[in-house]
Chains A and B, each alone.
Chain A
């Protein structure tokens, strides 16, 4: 069972973030970490590999410094890493990301592709769908447990009514949400071994991607502006009169805010 986990380098979730003049995130100003949702995908892949054997590859599209983040995934136990990096990729939107990852996946042997269900920075949750479409593969999304066997993958997705159980033939693309098990800590010996594991760096040309379809200029979406949510709070004190008047006050209060 060969598994590719597509992982993203994101800014540390606890760090203060700021945007550059072109509306893109200033990634150099904050520490980078593995997208925490992707850690669940890596943990899931490690468990499958430990049970069934095979190879686990981490695939990342990101800036030049992403190898350090990929090494954390390698330290968790992945076998090798591939970074697709190219100056032309700066400002790429989700469609371009999906396109580049799909191109890279064409060069990698796999039975299963796993993603974290979203990233903690953009939070789009779309890239795996784009990859599945471009590769013409079945997709299962937002599952918290999967079983693999008999040429199929079966996932369990939380729904309003309980769990949906969704099945697809392999090869398939699956996005993993928070699992019942926590991602493992990298052991310290594995951290030291990670630097000796294979980590390939591919350019856009290496994956056969069209530079005209990626980057800020080709993006289908643009950041029009940003502002912090207001943290101002106002307090209105209503001194209850009789029950009827009070009930009407509450109802009017909620209706004015379109809450009822």
Chain B
């Protein structure tokens, strides 16, 4: 097996890593205290091309490929989770939907601004009462002249308060299935709810999006994608599967950062005249975390490679998201334990990492949704 990457990928990954260490990590606490990522930083990440990571050059991206994007996101995950979650919600959810299902004209119209980070995108799929994959949507799209009228509400929309463009999934009349629509923020009838308070991800805006007789012209409907019985939900599924690998990459990066911090603390903090890292109980925690970080990385790399290679077996992607997201939570818990009382205090970032880690079991498809998919891919019957 060949684990080396092209020099382009290596240089991009190294650049993201340098940027994380020199620019983002020093602003760790500022993001947390302000409750948002400074606008100047988002602009800078846009200027550097970070938002264009998953896109082809023709769409305004850098044409690095999905594996390169995944490796870069792992590095971004070493910083405050808000950066990677904001970026992947814009580029990896909203932008990826446009790239997958948009016509050349639609992609040319909207993707360059998203790829440049000039405008944030948001992904409006989930509603109260739906599954994370969009089954059970109540938002409706009714034909209206040469366009559609949308009514309904979307919940927990990442980048919701700040996006310039929303990708909205809505049920079409009869047996037409689900429609996918691009709705610019200024469209009459689209209303943003209040910014919500969350346990973690304090740098990412989350809110409800309400659609009241929101009129979208025909050219705002995305009709491409993999097809199937319900082409709209098939688009959502394909995007969420890839997004799961990205979330896994962010989780693997976050976990490696927490392990590094726990190790550094264990070597520096002394008790009874020796570093606590000399104690077997602490070594056990560090070793368990190292194994899980490694396993999460390998699962994510393999899943990304399978996707880029065009393989249709989705189990590696489901497994990578499930494992990495849950491993991050365990690694964060151990990192806090190694730090002792200091890990619980807001002077250090460990407690922030612990809170953010919990989110990764919810982002995209949850563990409860992934496990049956994995079991069914093994051959178990569907419910």
The interface of chain A, by Cβ under 8 A from chain B, is 68, 71-72, 75, 185-192, 194-195
Contact = CB atoms under 8 A, between A and B. Distances in A.
Given A68-B7, A71-B7, A185-B48, A191 B15 contact: yes
B52 A191 contact: no
B7 A195 contact: yes
A188 B57 CA distance: 12
A194 B12 CA distance: 12
Given A68-B7, A71-B11, A188 B18 contact: no
A71 B6 CA distance: 13
A192 B8 contact: yes
A59 to B, nearest CB: 20
Interface string B52-79: 1100010000111000000000000000
B8 A195 contact: yes
A94 B11 CA distance: 29
Which of A75, A185, A186, A190 has the most C-beta atoms of chain B within 10 angstroms of its own C-beta?
A: A185
B83 to A, nearest CB: 15
Contact of A189 (B11, B18, B52): B52
Nearest to A192: B62
Interface of B: 7-8, 11-12, 15, 18-19, 47-50, 52-53, 57, 62-64
A195 B63 CA distance: 13
A188 B52 contact: yes
Nearest to B16: A188
A187 B49 contact: yes
A72 B8 CA distance: 10
B8 A189 contact: no
B8 A191 contact: yes
Contacts of A186: 11, 15
Given A71-B11, A185-B18, A188-B49, 19 more contacts: A68-B7, A72-B11, A75-B15, A185-B15, A185-B48, A186-B11, A186-B15, A187-B49, A188-B50, A189-B62, A191-B11, A191-B12, A191-B15, A192-B8, A192-B12, A192-B57, A194-B11, A195-B7, A195-B8
A68 B7 CA distance: 7
Which secondary structure characterizes the binding site on chain B? helix
Nearest to A72: B11
8 contacts: A71-B11, A185-B19, A187-B49, A188-B12, A191-B8, A191-B11, A191-B62, A195-B8
A75 B49 contact: no
Nearest to A188: B49
A188 B53 contact: yes
Contacts of B49: 187-190
Contacts of B64: 188, 192
Given A71-B7, A72-B11, A186-B15, A192 B63 contact: yes
A188 B48 contact: yes
Nearest to B63: A192
A71 B12 CA distance: 12
Most buried by B among A72, A186, A194, A195: A186
A56 B309 CA distance: 39
A72 B7 CA distance: 10
Contacts of A191: 8, 11-12, 15, 62
